[in-house]
Amino acid sequence: MSRVIVASVGYTKVGDHWDKSILDLAVEASKKALKPHPNIKPDTIIVGNMFSSQSARQEHLGALLASALNLVGTPAFKVEAACASGGVAFNVGYHLVRSGEAASVLVVGVEKMRDLDVAETSLALTMAESAEYTQFIGATFLSLNAMLARLYQETYNVTRDELSAFPVIAHQNAATAEHAQFRKAISVEDVSRSPLVSDPLRLLDCAPIGDGAAAVLLTSDKLVEEDDEVEVLSSKISTNVFSLYERDDMLTFSATKEAARKAFSEAGIGVEDVDVLEIHDAFSVTAALSVEAMGFSKPGEGAKDASAGVYSLKGRYPALTFGGLKGRGNPAGATGLYQIAELWLQLKGRGGLNQVEDCRIGLAQNIGGVDTTSVVTVLARR
């Protein structure tokens, strides 16, 4: 077994890239990731993406990117797990290097969402849920999370302002993050004043639609030698009963819980050892349920802890340090790789105004569907 290093990262800004295609974005991020190590040609290319078939009528993204990067002959394929596509693609790349099968793997997450109109994007995102029973009756991914938010608030007596804490943290950090989609802080009043999109969720509870690509070059420790290397300690995936409403306990993100348990176990760490978190804040309520499932907060207290400052940049568990899904953005299949890239920046001390002091261990949690797939990754600075 090799030790696996995150050798370099590359990413585009997240936003409305009207002038860039899905391949343009993927190539841009890939080149940035490959540039610091010009002598390394990846043994495998993995593309994480959720719905290129809808947004671009394009599949076969692995070979498409390999060919575009002039890496003809390189094994390449796409990995899809809804919004966890990026994290899961990373997981596969990690295991390829770890097993010794590959000495280096380029993992690229990319999504073009803006080429579809909002109603079509909504449908595309809801492919993460049942076509026959969720999509059929007109329930969107947003509506499921809204129903979850209502249940969460009712069950644990969570106030509107407490629920707004994660979006506020996200925007606070995104304001000083160069690659973030939204560079403006918001207040809890702003969240309360934003229009209802699916009550109780308001516009500012929800991660935006945007385009972007993020790439990570993974290598074995024999290929790259440097100080302060960022090593992958573990990456684990778990899945849940498919649709939210099919679960006995809708308020426990059991896929995240299990993935985190396995990731902590393999990494030989506990919750208290984590210095920086990139969690899946697709909606305010998902951020809260994610930290609860992983054990950073007790059940029902995720939003309250966020409100109390636990997850702020200077808090006990700094989260969403460059804005998370809400502030940095959520190009679905790319998000998981943005999370890795951001942890890499933090662990390498390149966080700039967003730097978390003395961080040695970082955790990324990326989900698809409403915690239907969860991938939890632990990185450490050696």
Partner 1 sequence: MAISYWRRRDRYYRLLGNKCTNCSSEYYPPVYICRRCGSESLVDVEMPKTGQIVTYTVLREVMAGFEGQQPLVLGIIRLDNGVKVLGQIVDTPPEALKIGSRVKMVFRKIREEGEAGQIYYGYKFTILQGKTTF
Using the rule CB under 8 A, is 372 a contact of partner 1?
no
**1 sits near partner 1 (criterion: CB under 8 A):** no
Nearer of residues 72 and 196 to partner 1, judged by Cβ: 196
* CB-nearer residue toward partner 1: 12 or 238: 238
User: Site for partner 1 (CB under 8 A): which residue of 18, 57, 70, 138?
Assistant: 138
If one asks whether residue 225 binds partner 1 (CB under 8 A), the answer comes out as no
Candidates 6-14, 118-126, 261-269, 369-377 — which segment interacts with partner 1 by CB under 8 A?
118-126
192 scored as a contact of partner 1 (CB under 8 A): no
Q: Which of 246, 270, 352, 353 binds partner 1 (CB under 8 A)?
A: 246
Determine, following the binding rule CB under 8 A, whether residue 139 of this chain makes contact with partner 1.
yes
- Closer residue to partner 1 in complex, CB, 91/198: 198
Cα separation of the two ends of the chain: 18
Among 148, 158, 232, 289, contact with partner 1 (rule: CB under 8 A): 148
Which residue type does 95 have? H
Select the span of 1-9, 133-141, 273-281, 290-298 touching partner 1 (CB under 8 A): 133-141
- Cβ at position 54, least distance to partner 1 in Å: 10
Q: At 354, which amino acid appears? A: N
Least Å distance between CB 144 and partner 1?
8
Q: Does 243 bind partner 1 (CB under 8 A)?
A: yes
Regarding 115 and contact with partner 1 (CB under 8 A), the answer is no
Candidates 143-151, 303-311, 334-342, 345-353 — which segment interacts with partner 1 by CB under 8 A? 143-151
Contact (Cβ atoms closer than 8 angstroms) between residue 309 and residue 380 = no
Least spacing, CB of residue 201 vs partner 1, in Å: 8
What gap in Å lies between CA 44 and CA 22, rounded to an integer?
Answer: 20
The nearer residue to partner 1, 3 or 150, going by C-beta atoms, is: 150
Give dist(CA 227, CA 370) in Å, integer. 39
Interstrand relation of 230-239 and 212-220 (parallel, antiparallel or unpaired): unpaired
Phi, psi of 4 (to 5 degrees): -110, 130
Please pick, from the candidates 91, 143, 219, 335, the single residue that binds partner 1 as defined by CB under 8 A.
143
SS (H, E, C) the chain: CCCEEEEEEEECCCECCCCCCHHHHHHHHHHHHHCCCCCCCCCEEEEECCCHHHHCCCCCHHHHHHHHCCCCCCCEEEECECECHHHHHHHHHHHHHHCCCCCEEEEEEEECCCCCCHHHHHHHHHHHCCHHHHHCCCCCHHHHHHHHHHHHHHHHCCCHHHHCHHHHHHHHHHCCCCCCCCCCCCCHHHHHHCCEEECCEEHHHECCCCEEEEEEEEEECCCCCCCCCEEEEEEEEEECCCCHHHCCCCCCCHHHHHHHHHHHHHHCCCHHHCCEEECCCCEHHHHHHHHHHHCCCCCCCHHHHHHCCCCCCCCCCCECCCCHHHHCCCCHHHHHHHHHHHHHHHHCCCCHHHCCCCCCEEEEEEEECCCCEEEEEEEEEC
Q: Which of 22, 69, 106, 142 binds partner 1 (CB under 8 A)?
A: 142
Rule CB under 8 A: say whether 252 interacts with partner 1: no
Q: Which stretch binds partner 1 (CB under 8 A): 35-43, 195-203, 292-300, 368-376?
A: 195-203
With CB under 8 A, what is the number of residues at the site for partner 1? 40
CA distances from 258 to 218, 297, 328 (A): 25, 16, 27
Contact call for residues 305 and 271 (beta carbons, < 8 A): no
Q: Which of 99, 189, 196, 298 binds partner 1 (CB under 8 A)?
A: 196
Determine, following the binding rule CB under 8 A, whether residue 208 of this chain makes contact with partner 1.
no
By beta-carbon proximity to partner 1, the closer residue of 150 and 262 is: 150
Nearer to partner 1, 101 or 199 (CB): 199
For position 118 contacting partner 1 by CB under 8 A, the verdict is yes
Residue 53 binds to partner 1 (criterion: CB under 8 A): no
Smallest gap from Cβ 190 to partner 1, in A, equals 19
Binding to partner 1 by residue 82, rule CB under 8 A?
no
Residues at the interface with partner 1 (CB under 8 A)? 117-120, 122-123, 126, 130-140, 142-144, 146-148, 150-151, 154, 195-201, 241, 243-246, 250
